[in-house]
Amino acid sequence: MIIKPCQIPYHVTQYQVFAQRLKSGLMKDIFEEKLRKGLAGYRGEKSIGYYLEFLPAMDYLIFHGLRLANGDSIFQMDCLILSQTFILLLEVKNIAGTITIGNGIRQLVREFNHQTDAFDDPLLQAEIHRKRLLYWLRKEYPAFPDLPIETLVVFASPGVIKTPNINPLQTEKIIRSSALEHKIEELIQKYPQTIASSDKLEVLSCKLLTSHRDLKINPFQTGKIKFEDIVKGVQCPRCHAFSMRWRQKNWHCPSCNFISKDAHIPALLTDYRLMCGTTITNAQCRDFLRLDSSDVSKYLLQSLCLGSVGNNRGRIYILPEN
């Protein structure tokens, strides 16, 4: 049963907005690259879902992209599978090119398009996440029984995988996504004894979901970009130009003549929220939507039936998370 489905991570949706709204320049290029890598990771994690469909829904609980806190430290698991007999942690990689793991240094080396790049060793990453999960379980749910925790590194992308100088036990933990079903069947045979009751799994499932923390970025706060670097305005749903103007209670696009009543909604509830947070004032709305009148911005904010705090000029509107 899929408890936490595979979705585009919150911070990757932020990358999408920044990549779209930043003016041309170095930071736009950086966010476009972050977006490309983030979406590649998401597609890799999503692709393994096909190989997990064979698992009996009532016997296995599947969590994608869990991000948990151990005190001040955070760890994220690409995919976590709970059963009454074992726990399986998957480290999913979607990296194109020729991959080498275990060349004497704990790293992954990728050769692609005549370029060589180094990444963290996924075997080491998986083992670190296993230890952190074990610590989290003992702290957050000490009554949960000691289930064995297995790890696998799953490559979702095609390409050559080389594993020199790795012992056979480690090599067995590196698979392609097509081998995932076979590996899980091996674990089912390896751990036949029921250790955790269904009730305890249900309690653990609730604890994991409520403990999940999305990664959220704030490049304005870190000083990497300024609000002046952002392209303001309402984007046309048809031609995608940021040039729509409010006239006679409608948005008009001078580029393609498209007319919309609600084009401001994604600008505020998606773009502004993901870039600037969940609060907005009348003045901030007027500036971001490039409106000439504070009365119009007030009208548009109130039409969204948003919660608010404060009164009159000090009113702050709350933008919903979902």
Q: For 295-316, how does the pLDDT look when each residue is reduced to its tens digit (9 = 90+)?
A: 999 999 999 999 999 988 889 9
Q: How far apart are CA 242 and CA 266, in angstroms?
A: 12
Residue 222 has pLDDT above 90, yes or no: no
pLDDT in tens, 174-203: 999 999 999 999 999 999 999 999 999 999
Q: Which of 145, 3, 135, 155 is nearest to 71 (CA)?
A: 135
- pLDDT attached to residue 71: 85
Q: How far apart are CA 191 and CA 86, in angstroms?
A: 7
Mean pLDDT of the 215-240 span = 95
168-182 burial code (b ≥16 CB/10 A, e <16): eeeeebbbebeebee
Phi and psi, residue 223, nearest 5°: 85, 5
- pLDDT attached to residue 159: 84
Q: Indicate the pairing of strand 149-155 with strand 87-93.
A: parallel
pLDDT in tens, 128-162: 999 999 999 999 999 999 999 999 999 998 888 88
Terminal-residue alpha carbon distance, the chain: 24
What count of other Cβ atoms lies within 10 Å of the Cβ of residue 192?
Answer: 7
Residue 170 has pLDDT above 80, yes or no: yes
**HSE-CB for 167 with a 13 A CA cutoff:** 1
Question: 103 falls in which pLDDT band (50, 70, 90)?
Answer: low
